[in-house]
Homo-oligomer: A and B are copies of this chain.
Amino acid sequence: MSAIVKQPDPITACLIIIGNEILSGRTQDANLAIVGKKCDTLGIRLTEARVIADVEADIVETVNTCRRLFTYVFTTGGIGPTHDDITAAAIARAFNVEVVRNKEAVNAMDRYYEPRRLTDARLKMADIPEGARLIDNPVSGAPGFQLENVFVLPGVPSIMDAMFDGLTDRLVGGDPILTDNVTTNLLESEIAAGLGVLQEKYPDVSMGSYPYFRKGKLGVNLVLRGTDAGRMNAAADELATTIMRLKGKVLNR
Q: Are B208 and A21 in contact (CB under 8 A)?
A: yes
Query: With A24-B46, A25-B40, A225-B24 in contact, do A209 and B32 touch (Cβ < 8 Å)?
Result: no
| A108 shortest CB reach to chain B, Å | 15
Where chain A touches its partner, the secondary structure class is mixed
Q: Are A211 and B156 in contact (CB under 8 A)?
A: yes
**Chain B CB within 8 A of A53 CB:** yes
**Chain B CB within 8 A of A35 CB:** yes
Chain A 179-219 interface mask (CB, 8 Å, partner B; 1/0): 10100000011111101100100000011111111000000
CA distance A122 to B82 in the complex (A): 52
Q: Are A49 and B23 in contact (CB under 8 A)?
A: yes
In which size bucket is the chain A interface?
35 or more
Q: Are A48 and B51 in contact (CB under 8 A)?
A: yes
CA distance A125 to B155 in the complex (A): 38
CA distance A20 to B48 in the complex (A): 9
Most buried by B among A33, A46, A210: A210
Q: Are B199 and A83 in contact (CB under 8 A)?
A: yes
* Chain B contacts for A40, CB-based, 8 A: 24-25
Q: Are B26 and A22 in contact (CB under 8 A)?
A: no
**Chain B CB within 8 A of A144 CB:** no
Q: Are B48 and A50 in contact (CB under 8 A)?
A: yes
Which B-chain residue is minimally distant from A191 (CB atoms)? B82
CA distance A215 to B48 in the complex (A): 32
| A37 shortest CB reach to chain B, Å | 4
| A109 shortest CB reach to chain B, Å | 10
11 extra interchain contacts, Cβ-Cβ under 8 A, other than A19-B208, A29-B29, A121-B190?
A: A20-B206, A21-B210, A25-B36, A27-B210, A28-B28, A48-B53, A82-B195, A84-B207, A119-B190, A121-B193, A156-B213
